Structure 1
Amino acid sequence: MARPHVLVIPFPAQGHVIPTMELAQRLVKQGIKVTFINTEVNHKIVTSNLQVDKDGFGDLMQMVSIPDGLEPWEDRSDVRKLILSILQTMSGKLEKLIETINTEDSNKITCVIADACMGLAIQAAANLGIRRACFWPASVTTLASTLSIHKLIDDGIINKNGLPLTDQIIQLSETMPPIKPENLVWAAFQDVPTIEAAFQLFVKAEETCKMTEWFICNSTTELESAAFSLYPQLLPIGPLLATNRLANQTGHFWQEDSTCLAWLDQQPPSSVIYIAFGSFTIFNQTQFQELAFGLELSNKPFLWVMRPGMTKETTDAYPDGYIERVRSHGRIISWAPQQKVLAHPSIACFISHCGWNSTLEGVTNGLPFLCWPYFGDQFHNKTYICDIWKTGLGFNKDEAGIITREEIKSKVELLLSDKTFREKALDIKDKIRSAVNEGGCSQKNLNNFIEWLKEKNTDDKDQPDSL
């Protein structure tokens, strides 16, 4: 029997590419051939930062690109333009790529695994009669709001274009995090045209997920039991990074600075504040300087990831003399090998934007959080951390909407002085380990999914029409 050959495609954003790459590597380790699709722009970035595969299975993974429909000089940070281009052009390009691959009888694509935000890939696979599976890289709470789109419209919470009509708190179930309508993942953008474009993407996701036989999620019932109870067709297989013992991530858009690990080696156990805000957060100059002063006032060692473009200031973003003053106990880098950093014994806590990848990496390593959400689902994840798991604290803003240096200093002291946060975090860490280890729920689901991929490819007419 020919080796199964799956095509895997993420939505072209950092927070989607990394966990989808992790899934692809899991499949490769089980002898499944993977063709991983990035947009042309992301393909160049990811492959230039790709680590050498030390496990010797690189021949089973091929990285391929397709156009996103934009011209090379166009701005990919214009989310509306990118989404509309993807929706209008990529399905046809993907179908042509699959047809080209399938001209080789011994190399045919047997299944398409698509990020749910790339419903167009599910549609393309259906058009070609190829088996299909959806992968959701974010929290299941975020996905639940997507699967509830029609109910949200019927209840008058959003209009047919996804725009919030009310301030009414959304509570999909009693034990799930409450959601403000403006924090729905598509509604978090600043302008109406971008919200409407993003909503199209999620409507497509809701439609095409019904065309798949499997819907796997990068989460676990130990973290989101209520969400999985509400949608039992969603199967937890994560957190995928929890079983990555070497913590070698791939799919980064920036070059990692691994020299920080040697610096961490020189710090006392549980002493360092780690600060990172992901790939999307942007600070105004006032807020950025308050953060800098707050870290200085905490008088603790800190490792701060200052991503290029995180402030609009290109030079002199830091307060006068700041770098010299903190040089003895602070380290500032442009991008970190985050999983390795968070696993380091010197880390005491994580000041985070609460993206799902960062959230999973923090809880997997038993760390308490200081939560600083910026966008969309990050607010849901903060609710998990602060109110449900109780492994962290949030910051309060002043009248001007600024988190002040005094507030930062105060919350750092409160978090690190109360051992309860660390104890609860370590308890969750143990539960996650049990889920992803042999015999755990997530591990069983992943094994069953892999066995399904290895089955003899069936005709599309034999597949169920919906989950």
Structure 2
Amino acid sequence: MSVSARPHAVIVPLPAQGHINPMMHLAKKLAREDGFLITFVNTDFIHARIMEAKMNIKSTLQYHVDETSIRLKSIPDGLEPQDSRTSDFPKVLRALENSMAPSLDKLIQEINEKEEYKVTCLIVDLWMQFLLDVAKRHDIPRAALFPGLTATCALRYNSPTLVSSNLLPSNGVPEENKMVKYLPFLPPLYSAHLPWLHGGKTESELLFELGQRTTAKMKDMEWTLFNSFYDLEAPVIDEFSKQVGVLPIGPLIPPQFLHGDLDQKRTVNNTGLWTEELECLDWLDRQSPCSVIYVSFGSFAMFNARQLEELALGLEATQKPFLWVVRNDLMDGKTVALPSGFTERIKDRGCLVSWAPQLSVLSHPSVACFITHCGWNSTLESISMGVPMICWPYFADQFLDRTYIVEVWKIGLALNTNEDGLIPKDEIAAAVKRLISEEEGGEIKKRVTKLKGNCRAAVKEGESSYNNYKLFVNAMKRK
């Protein structure tokens, strides 16, 4: 490739950890495999968080972005400094929609006027589809990435049809909780677990409307990418592709984790908002194979004091070693308070960290299972590493993810609440025992190991995700 022909992609994720990660994986893939220069654009707020994590001495060995190929830039998000970026998603998305396009337009214009490599394509998170008009103004190819389960996008896209067929009320918020077969190619789902139901009725209505408006734009998109792979969601992809363009290119995971380059597994990290505590990998090295329970609930989930206590005591009751990610804001945003004497009692078999290098953990031979919130990144990473899951969804699309994990793919177990709405310690300990020590767990391990093989095969030359990715790259290069 000549210097003058170098492709230059501007990539804009939704400003949330679970959306930034797959976008950065895509950016690195484009730079590594296809020679792209990447301008990765976060909001000012997120950019500051990333730089703070990068500067922490504990993460300097892990943090890696090739600055000759990937530059981190930022633009305003339209919110005031004191505004929350996590508690009111509709407000955040409205602010982004009202403010970001002019700033992005200006950034691309400045790059084209001042830099050697002009911008040749724009790639955005599907939730940021309102930015694609910027690409039209600059006459460059454009694409969107949906970083979740394809089935979730299909459900959102078809929600107007569900309203017209009386499977949903016009506001998207069912009045009663019942099991419903919403689409022929999806499993039945409890109506209380629809992905837009979060917070109160008003917020759920706004999320429903935002999802409808966002996915409706797919009709006009030539390139909509999905962080999934064909064998994982074949019935959904086959049917959804009859409605809109669906291009699964996943899993978007660094190649060293898919191809077993053990020397590299400790030297690559995502562009994260938290500092990873790498000492936990040394702790894992000292544990027996397939013995450790890994526990992490992503970047948003929070627990009240009673539920956090049940979780801690449940882990203690397993009598197994465990690695638990305890974010500083895990307890309803307050300082985490663990049960009296807990830390002392588990000191010989428990490792508590504020954030972990998740792919390195899941790929470690000592890890036996993953207690997870069922976020899509965590789900796909667990499948890619062949780790069975114990499912504890928190909100939004995580309930549909759990349905696929437990009922469709049968690679995990669900946890059930008691009459007080809590998941008790005995339920947690029993699920771990079933997964690690009983025959049922052995069958689950066989199924997830098979999916692991399918997952890794999908990105090999000539296979489904590889072929889809190359089609997309050639389009972005206008070949």
Shared fold (TM-score, shorter chain, > 0.5): yes
1 CA distance for matches of 2:217 and 2:102? 16
- Take 1:129 and 1:149, find their aligned partners in 2: how far apart are those partners? 32
1:297/1:409 contact within 8 Å kept: yes
- In structure 1, list runs of 5 or more residues that go unmatched: 457-467
**2:149 aligned with 1:139:** yes
Residue 215, structure 1, aligned to residue 224, structure 2: yes
Which residue is equivalent to 1:14?
17
Residue deviations 1:401-457, cap 9 Å, x none? 11111111111111112211111111111111111122221111112222222236x
Alignment of 1:41-60 (within 5 A): 41-50=45-54, 57-60=66-69
Post-superposition Cα deviations, 1:291-349, rounded to whole Å, max 9, x if no partner, equal 10001111000000001101037456111111000001111110000000000000011
Of 231, 236, 241 in structure 1, the residue corresponding to residue 248 of structure 2 is: 236
Partner of 1:317: 337
Structure 2 unaligned residues grouped into runs of 5+? 55-59, 258-263
- Mark the CA change 1:88 to 1:265 in structure 2 (over 3 Å): closer, same or farther: same
Task: State the Cα deviation string for residues 57-104 of structure 1 (Å, max 9, x = none).
Answer: 431211111111011122212323312211222223222222232324
Residue equivalent to 1:226: 235
| Number of the residue aligned with 1:341 | 361
CA separation of 1:386 and 1:375: change in aligned 2, threshold 3 A: same
Cα gap change, 1:115/1:52 in structure 2, threshold over 3 Å: closer, same or farther? farther
Q: How does 1:324-335 map to 2 (within 5 A)?
A: 324-335=344-355
Partners of 1:433 and 1:222 lie apart in 2 by: 11
CA contact (8 A) 2:390 2:415 kept: yes
Question: How far did 1:160 drift?
Answer: 4.7
Within 2, Cα distance between the matches of 1:97 and 1:52? Answer: 31
Code of the aligned partner of 1:110 = T
Q: 1:228 to 1:107 in 2, by over 3 A?
A: same
Runs of 4+ in structure 1 off by over 6 angstroms are 52-56
- Give the SS at the match of 1:362: helix
Q: Give, in whole Å, the separation in 1 of the partners of 2:249 and 2:227.
A: 6
Which stretch of structure 1 is more off in the superposition, 355-364 or 176-185?
176-185
Query: Secondary structure in 2 aligned to 1:312?
Result: coil
What residue in structure 1 maps to residue 133 of structure 2?
123
Comparing 152-161 and 142-151, the one that deviates more: 152-161
Deviates more, 1:200-209 or 1:279-288: 200-209
| Map of 1:396 onto structure 2 | 416
Q: Answer yes or no: is the 8 Å Cα contact 1:157–1:181 preserved in 2.
A: no
- Structure 2 counterpart of 1:384: 404
CA contact (8 A) 1:141 1:177 kept: no
Equivalent residue, structure 2, for 1:177: 187
Name the CA shift for 1:312/1:173 in 2 (closer, same or farther; >3 Å).
closer
Note closer, same or farther for the CA distance 1:322–1:278 as it changes in structure 2 (3 Å cut): same
Contact 1:369 1:391 in 2 (8 A): yes
Equivalent of 1:265 in 265, 276, 285 = 285
- Does the 8 A contact of 1:39 with 1:66 survive in 2? yes
Contact 1:242 1:436 in 2 (8 A): no
* Cα distance between partner residues in 2 of 1:340 and 1:146: 33
The SS at the match of 2:217 is: helix
Partner residue of 2:124?
A: 114
Instruction: Give CA deviations for 1:116-138 in whole Å, capped at 9, x if unaligned.
Output: 01011113323443321111111
Look up the SS of the partner of 1:319 in the other structure.
Answer: coil
User: Are 1:34 and 2:38 matched, yes or no?
Assistant: yes
**Is 1:435 paired with 2:438?**
no
Question: Equivalent of 2:446, from 423, 428, 448?
Answer: 423
Q: 1:190 to 1:263 in 2, by over 3 A?
A: same
Select the residue among 302, 311, 329 that pairs with 2:322.
Answer: 302
**What letter is aligned with 1:318?**
L
Q: Does 1:98 align with 2:108?
A: yes
1:445 aligns with 2:468: yes
Question: How many pairs does the alignment contain?
Answer: 455
SS class of match (1:124): helix
Query: 1:242–1:432: 8 Å Cα contact kept in structure 2?
Result: no
Alpha carbons of structure 1 residues 192 and 316: separation in structure 2 relative to 1, 3 Å: closer
Q: Are residues 433 and 316 of structure 1, via their aligned partners in 2, closer, same or farther at CA, if it must alter by over 3 Å?
A: closer
Secondary structure of 1:58's aligned partner: coil
Q: Give the letter aligned to residue 450 of structure 1.
A: V
**Aligned-pair CA distance for 1:180:** 3.2
- Alignment counterpart, residue 191 of structure 1, candidates 192, 200, 217: 200
2: CA distance, partners of 1:404 / 1:89: 45
**2-side partners of 1:199 and 1:393: how far apart?**
29
Give the whole-Å Cα distance in 2 for the aligned partners of 1:413 and 1:362. 19
Shift of 1:56: 8.8
CA distance in 1, matches of 2:226, 2:76: 27
Identity of aligned pairs, percent?
38
Q: Tell me, in whole angstroms, the C-alpha distance in 2 between the residues paired with 1:313 and 1:92.
A: 34
Instruction: Decide whether the 8 Å contact of 2:167 with 2:182 is kept in 1.
Output: no
Say whether 1:253 aligns with 2:256.
no
| Structure 2 CA distance for aligned equivalents of residues 283 and 320 of structure 1 | 17
CA contact (8 A) 2:64 2:269 kept: no
Give the whole-Å Cα distance in 2 for the aligned partners of 1:369 and 1:441.
26
Change in Cα spacing, 1:146 to 1:332, as seen in structure 2 (3 Å) is same
Q: Partners in 2 of 1:54 and 1:195 — Cα distance?
A: 37
Q: Residues of 2 paired with 1:149 and 1:103: CA distance?
A: 43
User: Hey, what's the Cα distance between the residues in 1 that align with 2:374 and 2:69?
Assistant: 33
Q: Partners of 2:210 and 2:336 in 1: how far apart?
A: 39
Question: Match of 2:41, SS?
Answer: strand
TM-score (norm 2): 0.90
1:156 aligns with 2:179: no
